[in-house]
Each structure stands twice: as C-alpha cells, then as structure tokens.
Amino acid sequence: MHQTRRRAHALWTLVMSALFITSLACSKAEQPQPEPKPAQAAPSEQPANPQKEAAPAPVAPESAKPPAAQTPAPAATPSASLPAAPAASPSSAPVTTPSPAVAPATPPPSSPAQQAPTAPPPAPVHAEVGSEKCKMCHRVQYDSWATSKHAAAGPPVTCETCHGNGADYASMSVMKDSAKARAAGLVMPGKEFCTAKCHKAAAFTDDMLQKAHAHKVK
C-alpha cells in the first residue's frame, strides 16, 4: 500500500514538474522582444572651407580622347586540341576499281582460204517429155528401141531413162549444138553409166551399147 502511494506521488511530482517547465517556456516566448534602434547616420565630413569647392575637371574633346582599348578576339582554338576524326579503316569501306571499257571485239577479216567453200548450185531438175516427143526427130532410134528388151521391161527403159529428161534440150535450136545440148541436160551414156544403173560390170560388153537401139547412118 505504501509502495503504491509512493509511486503515485512520484508520478504526480513528475507531471507537475513537466507542466511548470512548459508554462515557463511559453511565458518567455510570449514576452515582446525589444525592437532594435535604427543606426544613426554618421555625420558627413564637411570640407574645411565650404566656400571653396573643388573646381570641375576640364572635359577633354572627343578627338583628344584616347582610343578605347579593343578587347582582343579570343584566339582560335588550335586544331590540335580537337580530337582528330578516326581514319576510315581500309577494310570498312569497299574499294571499287573502275573496270576498263572493253571495246567490242571486231572479228578479223577472213582470208579467202578461211572462207567456207561455196556449194555448187543444185543441178536443174529437167522435166520429162516422153518417148513420143523423141520419135518426131529420132524415128530410126525409136523404132529400134520399141522392139528391144528395154521397151519390154517393166517399167520400160525409155529414151529419157538413158539420155535424161529432154524438156530443156529437146528444142531444135539446142539439139543441133552438141555442147548446148549437153549443157542443157543431154546424157550420152557409156559403160560406166550402164553398169551403175542396171548392168553388172562383169557381164557388160562394149557391143551392148550398139544393141540398145539402131543408129541413124550419117
């Protein structure tokens, strides 16, 4: 019981002390502070002789004034202070080499020996006129041929089979000239012609050409 009273008394003492200190601090804060006095201006120094004032300095004419000092321009910053641009690496940019202009190749003129040989013109295809057309001028030959094995063969070996188609050489003006007739397609058969066409070379004799048909006596 006594301890409880002691504790309560101590607690009350602390609270009262705190309230007293708080009220004391508030009273000091509420007291008006004295205003500071304005500072008195110092008496200006009066000249010893107020009547004698300093004479104004003479004003120099504009031409007599020294030229105004010019402010030197700032020195240019040397290029060495600036960081140099990095040099382009050879491998970073492709180097393009202009290709030389190529002139169109002109084929060399071919020599006559290099030129392809010109093919001969094709032989003219002569038209056939028929054995009855030959009969008009070669009656002896025709009659002899008509009774020979050549005429009886199938198909028959006609005049134009051995002498060539006669449309180009059958005219009288060409037939009278042996050279013109040969040039126009007339064939005068021999052993080589007959053995190449029909007869075997081993069985062919020279008198067979005379037996083909009769010949007109000149």
Structural domain range at position 190: 131-211
pTM of the model: 0.43
Which string of DSSP letters, residue by residue, matches 151-215? HHSSS---HHHHH---TTT-SHHHHTSHHHHHHTT-----HHHHHHHTS-TTT--TTHHHHSS--
Which has the minimum average pLDDT: 8-12, 14-18, 99-103? 99-103
Asked if residue 149 belongs to a domain, the reply is: yes
Q: How many domains does the chain have?
A: 1
Contact between 203 and 184 under an 8 Å Cβ cutoff? The reply is: no
Asked if residue 190 belongs to a domain, the reply is: yes
Q: What is the pLDDT of residues 168-187, one digit of tens each?
A: 999 999 999 999 999 999 99
Asked if residue 138 belongs to a domain, the reply is: yes
Q: What is the pLDDT of residues 76-109, one digit of tens each?
A: 544 444 555 555 544 555 556 666 666 666 666 6
Beta strands in the chain (DSSP E): none
Asked if residue 24 belongs to a domain, the reply is: no
Q: What is the model's pLDDT at position 102?
A: 63
Asked if residue 16 belongs to a domain, the reply is: no
Whether the pLDDT of residue 24 is over 50: the answer is: yes
